[in-house]
């Protein structure tokens, strides 16, 4: 269980602000943090594994304050997937995937075995991909390796910062549904950040909507549809429907020819 209590980050040099944020993510839950860019959702995510420390308030994981643990130790036990992937260009797929295990001092044989398992989990053939460098991968393959790198050390918590944002739409859907399956199969607790409402509704157990550094509403997609808290929420949840409608109209026009 992840608990954010009065979490506040005031304006820093390069991070969006967050104010008095209270949120509980249950163990095994898939929570999507969604909101327009600059609303503070990435700031919130990175305060969980202490890439950024809050100005006020605290994060508790399974009841323990994260400030009590060494940030390096903390990060090795929480998987993190980055928006721009951030694979190490001078390391092979296998080396990238196994890096967290290597940092923990796990033996070579065990690392190799675990790397193969994890690559198979993200549907990359170990035999084909192990020895490749990131430059020789497609965008989708790179983010699969990014997910594998986060999973290799068997974390129970996964933090994902717009992981599929920069990937072309066909592959994005495949990748996100693959990840949702992994989340269920491994019983992970996932917090995923996105600005794409459709993605949020398709993946999330619960959606947390943010605006201007504050949490506006948290609930299951059904709850949000049924009782939007204000016009902002209504507009946000309407956007996928409006797009679907517009798409339908466009296709009918095309079909009439």
Partner 1 sequence: MNADAGAVAAALSHLPDYLAWHVLLSLSAIVLGVAISLPLAIFSARRPAWRAPALALAGIIQTIPSLALLALFYPMLLALSVFTQATFGFGFRALGFLPALAALTLYSMLPILRNTIAGLQGIDRAVMTAARGVGMTPLQSLRLVELPLAAPVILAGVRTAAVWVIGTATLSTPVGQTSLGNYIFAGLQTENWVFVLFGCVAAAALALLVDRLLALAEDGVVKRSSARLMASGIGLMLLVAASLWPLIGGAAGKPVVVGAKSFDEQYILGALIEDRLRAAGFATARRDGLGSTVIFDALAAGDIDVYVDYSGTVWADDMKRTDLPGRKAVLDQMAAWLKRTHGIAYAGPIGFENAYAFAMRGDTARKLGIRSLADLAAYAPRLKIGGDFEIFSRPEWRAVEHAYGLRFGTERQYQANFMYRAVAAGDVDVISAFSSDGRIAQYGLTILTDPKGALPPYDAVLLISPAHANDARLLAALKPLVGAIDLGAMQNANLLADTGKRAPEDIARALDAEIGRR
Residue number with CB closer to partner 1 (28 or 86):
86
Among 6, 22, 56, 90, binds partner 1 (CB under 8 A): 90
Q: Does 73 bind partner 1 (CB under 8 A)?
A: yes
Q: Does 84 bind partner 1 (CB under 8 A)?
A: yes
CB-count exposure of residue 185 (10 Å: 0-12, 13-18, 19+)? exposed
Alpha-carbon distance 160 to 32, whole Å?
Answer: 9
Q: Does 76 bind partner 1 (CB under 8 A)?
A: yes
State the binding string over 95-114 for partner 1 (x if CB under 8 A, else -).
Answer: ----xx--x-----------
Q: Give yes or no for a contact between 9 and 66, defined as CB atoms under 8 angstroms apart.
A: no
Question: In terms of Cα–Cα distance, which of 180, 153, 152, 151 is closest to 164?
Answer: 180
Residue number with CB closer to partner 1 (98 or 213):
98
Site for partner 1 in 143-162 (CB under 8 A): 149-150
Alpha-carbon distance 211 to 183, whole Å?
Answer: 27
Q: How many angstroms separate the first and last alpha carbons of the chain?
A: 55
Residue number with CB closer to partner 1 (143 or 217):
143
Residue number with CB closer to partner 1 (70 or 222):
70
Alpha-carbon distance 4 to 147, whole Å?
Answer: 24
Q: Does 226 bind partner 1 (CB under 8 A)?
A: no
Residue 154 corresponds to which tokens in the numbers above?
């068997």
Helix (H, G, I), strand (E, B) or coil at 59: strand
- For the packed helices 169-186 and 139-151, what is the interaxial angle rounded to 10 degrees? 20
Q: Cα–Cα distances in Å, from 34 out to 3, 76, 109, 128, 145?
A: 18, 25, 40, 36, 24
Q: Does 82 bind partner 1 (CB under 8 A)?
A: yes
Least distance to partner 1 from the beta carbon of 90, Å?
5
Alpha-carbon distance 31 to 190, whole Å?
Answer: 6
Q: Does 67 bind partner 1 (CB under 8 A)?
A: no
Q: Give yes or no for a contact between 224 and 233, defined as CB atoms under 8 angstroms apart.
A: yes
Residue number with CB closer to partner 1 (4 or 52):
52
Q: Does 49 bind partner 1 (CB under 8 A)?
A: yes
Residue number with CB closer to partner 1 (103 or 229):
103
CB-count exposure of residue 205 (10 Å: 0-12, 13-18, 19+)? middle
Number of residues lying near partner 1 (CB under 8 A): 23
Among 38, 86, 126, 165, binds partner 1 (CB under 8 A): 86
Q: Does 18 bind partner 1 (CB under 8 A)?
A: no
Least distance to partner 1 from the beta carbon of 20, Å?
26
Among 16, 39, 85, 224, binds partner 1 (CB under 8 A): 85
User: Which residues contribute to the site for partner 1 (CB under 8 A)?
Assistant: 49, 51, 72-77, 80, 82-90, 99-100, 103, 149-150
């Amino acid at each position: 269980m992840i608990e954010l209590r009065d979490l506040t980050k005031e304006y820093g040099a390069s991070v969006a602000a967050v104010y008095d944020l209270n949120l509980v993510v249950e163990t095994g839950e898939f929570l999507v943090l969604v909101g327009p860019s600059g609303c503070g959702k990435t700031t919130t995510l990175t305060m969980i594994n202490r890439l950024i420390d809050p100005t006020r308030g605290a994060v508790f994981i399974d009841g323990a304050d994260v400030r009590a643990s060494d940030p390096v130790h903390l990060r090795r036990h929480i998987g993190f997937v980055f928006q721009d992937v951030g694979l190490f260009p001078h390391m092979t797929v296998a080396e990238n995937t196994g890096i967290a295990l290597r940092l923990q001092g796990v033996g070579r044989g065990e690392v190799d075995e675990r790397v193969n398992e994890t690559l198979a989990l993200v549907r990359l053939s170990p035999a084909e991909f192990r020895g490749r460098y990131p430059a020789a991968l497609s965008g989708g393959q790179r983010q699969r390796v990014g997910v594998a790198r986060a999973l290799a050390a068997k974390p129970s918590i996964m933090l994902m910062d717009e992981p599929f944002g920069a990937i072309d739409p066909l592959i994005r859907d495949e990748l996100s549904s693959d990840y949702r399956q992994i989340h269920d199969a491994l019983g992970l607790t996932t917090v995923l950040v996105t600005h794409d409402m459709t993605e949020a509704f398709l993946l999330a157990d619960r959606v947390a909507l943010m605006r201007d550094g504050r949490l506006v509403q948290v609930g299951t997609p059904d709850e949000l549809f049924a009782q939007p808290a204000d016009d902002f929420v209504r507009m946000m949840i309407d956007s996928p429907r409006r797009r679907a409608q517009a798409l339908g109209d466009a296709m009918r026009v095309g079909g009439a020819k």
